[in-house]
Amino acid sequence: MSQVVIGTAGHIDHGKTALVKALTGIDTDTLSEEKARGMTIDLGFAYLDQSITIIDVPGHEKFIRNMAAGVSTIQIGLLAIAADDGIMPQTREHLHILELLGVNRAIIAITKVDLVDDPDWLDLSN
């Protein structure tokens, strides 16, 4: 059976880790510093089943090297865009890194839809 590796991408606080947890039930922020700061610092791994692995990468610009290390093995990007924030600098940077590494397939997840009342975002997410 072939293994598919999906990697998250997106700006800090756009819900990448929460999305992975919603999909797999696994909290990929395992370091005590990640818990204390409320942000992903190092790569996290979750397994949807025996054939799908999800790599959760940091979104903060200070940890871009960790992100780049994590995406070197992925086949499909999982781009999180927060509805209350839209496309931000690390959204573009992560997408560019995926392109540079030849990742030409992606799933776009509009997250945090519950935080907005904008009809345009709500239409887009449905």
| Catalytic site residue from 11, 14, 16, 94 | 16
| Catalytic site residue from 21, 27, 42, 60 | 60
Is 60 an active-site residue? yes
- CA–CA distances in Å: residue 9 to residues 32, 39, 86, 123: 22, 14, 14, 23
- CA–CA distances in Å: residue 38 to residues 7, 59, 100, 114: 20, 12, 29, 20
Cα–Cα distance for residue pair 113/108, rounded to 1 Å: 13
| Catalytic site residue from 13, 29, 56, 85 | 13
**Residue 75 amino acid letter:** Q
Is 14 an active-site residue? no
| Catalytic site residue from 17, 28, 40, 111 | 17
Return the active site residues.
Answer: 13, 16-17, 60
